[in-house]
Structure 1
Amino acid sequence: MALLPQTGAEDPAEPDAEGLGATAARGAAWSGVSTIVLRLGSVIVGVVVARILAPDQFGVYAVALTVQGILMTVADLGLSSEIIRSEEPDRIAPTVATFGLISGTGLALATIVSSSRLADLLGDRDAAGAIAVLSLTLLLAGVSIVPYGLMLRRFQQRELFLISLVDLIVSTAVTFALLAAGLGVLSLAIGRVAAQAISSTLQFVATRMRPRLGLDRARWRGILAFSLPVAGANLFAWILLNVDNVVIARMAGATALGFYVLGFNIANWPMSALSQMVRSIALPYTSRVPDSAGALPQLTAVIWSMALPAGVTLAALAGPLIHVIYGAKWAPSVPVLAALGIYGGLRVIFDLFSGYLYALGRSRPVLWLQVLTIVVLTAGMIVMTSRHGIVGAAWVHVGASAVFILPGYLAIIRATGVRVTALIRACLRPTLATLPACLVALAASHLISRPLIALLAGGAGAVALYLAVTGRWLLSRLARIRGPRAEDVSDPGAAQIP
């Protein structure tokens, strides 16, 4: 459904070129607050659920989420990216809404009909019911593509935070009520659908617009020409994150998948927060900044300075973290988390690079890189899972990212005018500063016998040492991206301060 302003309502003003950096910075700040608060809430809920459910039940839900996550990406069709980057979003909105509704409805119906076969394919027939219930989120996502894309375009991260907070509250309340009623794994699926319905409705309310369908015959081919490769690239990106679940479910079973998914989820705590922040600003910022190729190294340095130490410290403290929060029964997840923490730092940078390339309209190279990576990753997963179980599967992510995906992205962005040497120089300081911080965390993890003390001492020591080395440097880089303050614009020398 497209969005048209309600009578008397005004659209939020879009930032001009001079205010783009400051607006993006505010959006990133709200996105950061949102992801930290929401991630903390999700972690607390996840801890309680993990202590209620057995690993095999957790694995059943993980199978259902694997299917839902992949299909959710397809339901978008890359259309929200087209709304974000378009010079005439209001003009293309009815067409985008029509495609989104068709895609979401079709995928939801197809998933319901084939839920049993999908569950069998992934090696756990018990997941069929959860897959069928979660398919309703595909319809809801397709309906709300336009308001969601417009909110990202306008950097309305505060409103998105409030909507996501309501989403978390609704999901938690419904899930625990149904768990108490004895519905088991289905409780999680029903809670997710209820929350999605509320959040989709609130997106329409936040944009203060009414829905309308339509089809612009002069523009629909151009819309699909850009959005379908984006959808394909996003689909393969999701497959990259979920092919391990498929392989493990088939080769090792639901219980092993439960251990693996727990480790993966913990690794995603900081990385999802950072990735959400990156995705919220990368495409709208780089699509409108005057020199996107020149801005990318500084933006990459800031993101890398947060992603790398977070991932490495998480990996170093994997043992104490899992024992303190989840208990000894989840100990097999420790080596999985150790590997995936390292992988998570690289994944955030890939999100930034793909957003930059989408802003330039270069979605096809990203798609082909994802296709080739799927082949490499799937082959590696099959070999390593059969030989080393879930730990081998986790390390395949690290190897494929460092050896194949990162060089591939660097080759693509180099063709856009970005100097790879400038990227490397910009990221050198946070990379070197992460090494001693990691050693502090490792020392605490191995030398302190009490997990809680090891976790607190290692985390605090690593953070303090890292900030001591990079704090001022990071603040200066953030100031460059943000640009001059509004009150300094009248001063010709303000924008030239190094």
Structure 2
Amino acid sequence: MGLRSKVIKGGALMVIRQALGILLSLIGVLFITKVIGPAQYGLYGVSYGIVSFLGGLGIWGLDVYLLRKTSNPDQQDYNQVFTLLLCISSVFTLTLVLGQHIIAQMLNVPESAPLLATLGLTLPLSLLNLPLTIKLDRDLNFQRVAYIELISQVSYYVAALPLAHYLAPKELGAWAPAGGLWLQQITMVLLTVFSTDLRPRLCWKPSLIREMLVYGLSYSSSTWIWQLRSLVNPVIVGRFAGLEAVGFIALAIRIAEMLAFAKSVTWRLAMAALAKLENDPLRLRKSIEEGMRLQALAVGLPMAAFAIVAPVILPVVFGKVWTPLLQVFPLIAIGYIANSIFNLHSSVLYLLGKNLSVTWFHTAHIVLFAGSAFLLVPYLGMVGYGWAEIAALGSYIVIHIFIAKEIGSPNYTVALGWVTISVAVLILSTVNETVRYLSCVLLLLPLLSSKERNSLIGYFQILRS
């Protein structure tokens, strides 16, 4: 089987496996949000957004250091990573616990203070478990890792669902997902400890510390800038539009992430498959072009389909109280579709060692996104967040310029056709019921092209082989 066939077929299998996890997550989120309501979900979203950002920051690329080490990491490597993560998580946790009231006042959400401290205490669990998980990955024990992730995900809802029913009447519903997160982290740590014989200890070797921190900084700097996106909802929307707006946007983002899960699969496949084409600019460019088409199909069509049925399904499934998120979902969906199209651009730039180019793109994106949200949310409310997503689309010009400089300009024609149709459906879904249902006809237009029909048939034949 050729590289192209392996990537497409392997990607399809990964998508199916991940879809099962997404389905479980969707069912859990459905019940929790329906019971606790937008305001309490928004309160949790504010607190979790801060903790999640610090958790991503605290990894510092140390996971990649261990994974990409050419020789097998020895006990000292694991011990040193464990010690560094202990120091980082301790600093972050103490900051959240001791500064909970100050941070909550800065967010203009004083009631988030105890949640910030409680969720902050999970950071040592999640970060210190990292060396053990990396050891399983290095041993190629992916089946065990998947088992641990699935069981821990189930444990989250085992705790969160009954807590939601018990605490919601007391206006304490935000503590239900917090309790679920605690049980999830504890379950993951216990299962990982029992799955490996690695027992990290404290270690302090200055030369090794310097090597790890420098590597982590060079790799993670661009990622840290991108992670600032996660602060826009809790910090800017929470301050200017209130907790309910945070809750609506948080659920809209969650739905968009579920519908766009194929994007992360493409990223994982690309970093492995594109490495085989590193010295062939033409094949890299062709791979990006085909990847853009697949992303437009795998991300754009589910977004458009959901927009068509959402006004009917959302009130029934989540409750009528959640219908305001339909005002902002189409705009958020457009942002996710655009990001999926340019996903492989950043993969190739990372592959070519152009980390700084990706950093500049991320910086431009955050400046446009966060800056627009800061200006628009005070006047437009949560819809301002959606228009900030649209304003941030201008940043993709930056990454196009960088990729064109390295391997030549990709041809966007085919991908743009699918994207245009998906975006048109998203926009028309906001007009009225008749226009919304008729817009589904647009999704069939590309099939009028024999070339596009043959391409889709080709993908289907690869998956059957």
Deviations 1:164-199 (A, max 9, x none): 321221000111232344353112112112112222
Alignment of 1:142-153 (within 5 A): 142-149=127-134
Query: For 1:389, which of 347, 364, 381 is the aligned residue?
Result: 381
Residue 276 (1) aligns with residue 268 (2): no
Q: Partners of 1:89 and 1:141 in 2: how far apart?
A: 23
Matched to 1:191, the amino acid is G
Offset, 1:36: 1.2
Which residue number corresponds to residue 225 of structure 1? 214
Which residue number corresponds to residue 74 of structure 1? 57
User: What CA RMSD, in Å, does the superposition of the two structures yield over aligned residues?
Assistant: 3.7
Q: Partners of 2:318 and 2:142 in 1: how far apart?
A: 32
Q: Partners of 2:400 and 2:208 in 1: how far apart?
A: 32
Please tell me whether the aligned partners of residues 233 and 246 of structure 2 are also in contact (alpha carbons under 8 angstroms): no
Going from structure 1 to structure 2, the CA distance change for 1:201 and 1:290 (only over 3 Å counts) comes to farther
Normalised to the residue count of structure 2, the TM-score between the two structures is 0.82
Please tell me whether the aligned partners of residues 156 and 180 of structure 2 are also in contact (alpha carbons under 8 angstroms): yes
Which residue number corresponds to residue 83 of structure 2? 98
Secondary structure of the residue that 1:87 maps to in structure 2? coil
Please tell me whether the aligned partners of residues 27 and 157 of structure 1 are also in contact (alpha carbons under 8 angstroms): no
Please tell me whether the aligned partners of residues 61 and 185 of structure 1 are also in contact (alpha carbons under 8 angstroms): yes
Residue 212 (1) aligns with residue 200 (2): yes
Residue 128 (1) aligns with residue 119 (2): no
Matched to 2:234, the amino acid is N
Offset, 1:343: 0.7
Query: For 1:109, which of 94, 101, 124 is the aligned residue?
Result: 94
Deviations 1:228-260 (A, max 9, x none): 143332222121233133111111111222222
Q: Partners of 2:429 and 2:338 in 1: how far apart?
A: 25
Alignment of 1:4-153 (within 5 A): 28-91=11-74, 92-149=77-134
Going from structure 1 to structure 2, the CA distance change for 1:463 and 1:104 (only over 3 Å counts) comes to farther
Please tell me whether the aligned partners of residues 85 and 127 of structure 2 are also in contact (alpha carbons under 8 angstroms): yes
Offset, 1:60: 0.6
Going from structure 1 to structure 2, the CA distance change for 1:290 and 1:353 (only over 3 Å counts) comes to closer
Going from structure 1 to structure 2, the CA distance change for 1:408 and 1:320 (only over 3 Å counts) comes to farther
Going from structure 1 to structure 2, the CA distance change for 1:48 and 1:396 (only over 3 Å counts) comes to same
Residue 190 (1) aligns with residue 172 (2): no
Secondary structure of the residue that 2:332 maps to in structure 1? helix
Going from structure 1 to structure 2, the CA distance change for 1:111 and 1:79 (only over 3 Å counts) comes to same
Normalised to the residue count of structure 1, the TM-score between the two structures is 0.77
Residue 335 (1) aligns with residue 350 (2): no
Going from structure 1 to structure 2, the CA distance change for 1:357 and 1:151 (only over 3 Å counts) comes to farther
Which residue number corresponds to residue 347 of structure 1? 339
Please tell me whether the aligned partners of residues 232 and 367 of structure 1 are also in contact (alpha carbons under 8 angstroms): yes
Secondary structure of the residue that 2:22 maps to in structure 1? helix
Residue 403 (1) aligns with residue 387 (2): no
Please tell me whether the aligned partners of residues 323 and 330 of structure 1 are also in contact (alpha carbons under 8 angstroms): yes
Q: Partners of 2:456 and 2:63 in 1: how far apart?
A: 31
Which residue number corresponds to residue 408 of structure 2? 419
Q: Partners of 2:270 and 2:92 in 1: how far apart?
A: 28
Please tell me whether the aligned partners of residues 303 and 349 of structure 1 are also in contact (alpha carbons under 8 angstroms): yes
Please tell me whether the aligned partners of residues 153 and 284 of structure 1 are also in contact (alpha carbons under 8 angstroms): no
Which residue number corresponds to residue 414 of structure 2? 429
Secondary structure of the residue that 1:212 maps to in structure 2? coil
Please tell me whether the aligned partners of residues 346 and 358 of structure 2 are also in contact (alpha carbons under 8 angstroms): yes
Matched to 1:88, the amino acid is S
Offset, 1:143: 1.3
Deviations 1:72-95 (A, max 9, x none): 111111222233333235255444
Residue 303 (1) aligns with residue 291 (2): no
Deviations 1:56-108 (A, max 9, x none): 11211111111112111111112222333332352554443332332223322
Q: Partners of 2:312 and 2:183 in 1: how far apart?
A: 35
Q: Partners of 2:255 and 2:234 in 1: how far apart?
A: 15
Please tell me whether the aligned partners of residues 328 and 382 of structure 2 are also in contact (alpha carbons under 8 angstroms): yes
Which residue number corresponds to residue 455 of structure 2? 473
Matched to 1:243, the amino acid is V
Matched to 2:92, the amino acid is L
Mean Cα displacement is larger for which, 210-219 or 122-131?
A: 210-219
Please tell me whether the aligned partners of residues 125 and 189 of structure 2 are also in contact (alpha carbons under 8 angstroms): yes
Please tell me whether the aligned partners of residues 93 and 120 of structure 2 are also in contact (alpha carbons under 8 angstroms): yes
- The number of residue pairs the alignment matches comes to 451
Please tell me whether the aligned partners of residues 97 and 146 of structure 1 are also in contact (alpha carbons under 8 angstroms): yes
Please tell me whether the aligned partners of residues 41 and 247 of structure 2 are also in contact (alpha carbons under 8 angstroms): yes
Secondary structure of the residue that 2:228 maps to in structure 1? helix
Offset, 1:341: 0.8
Alignment of 1:454-469 (within 5 A): none
Q: Partners of 1:153 and 1:351 in 2: how far apart?
A: 26
Please tell me whether the aligned partners of residues 37 and 321 of structure 2 are also in contact (alpha carbons under 8 angstroms): no
Matched to 1:277, the amino acid is V
Deviations 1:106-125 (A, max 9, x none): 32232222222222221212
Matched to 1:73, the amino acid is G
Q: Partners of 1:378 and 1:438 in 2: how far apart?
A: 22
Going from structure 1 to structure 2, the CA distance change for 1:322 and 1:177 (only over 3 Å counts) comes to closer
Matched to 1:103, the amino acid is I
Query: For 2:365, which of 373, 377, 381 is the aligned residue?
Result: 373
Going from structure 1 to structure 2, the CA distance change for 1:88 and 1:316 (only over 3 Å counts) comes to farther
Q: Partners of 2:211 and 2:177 in 1: how far apart?
A: 39
Secondary structure of the residue that 2:199 maps to in structure 1? strand
Secondary structure of the residue that 1:36 maps to in structure 2? helix
Q: Partners of 2:389 and 2:426 in 1: how far apart?
A: 23
Offset, 1:222: 3.6
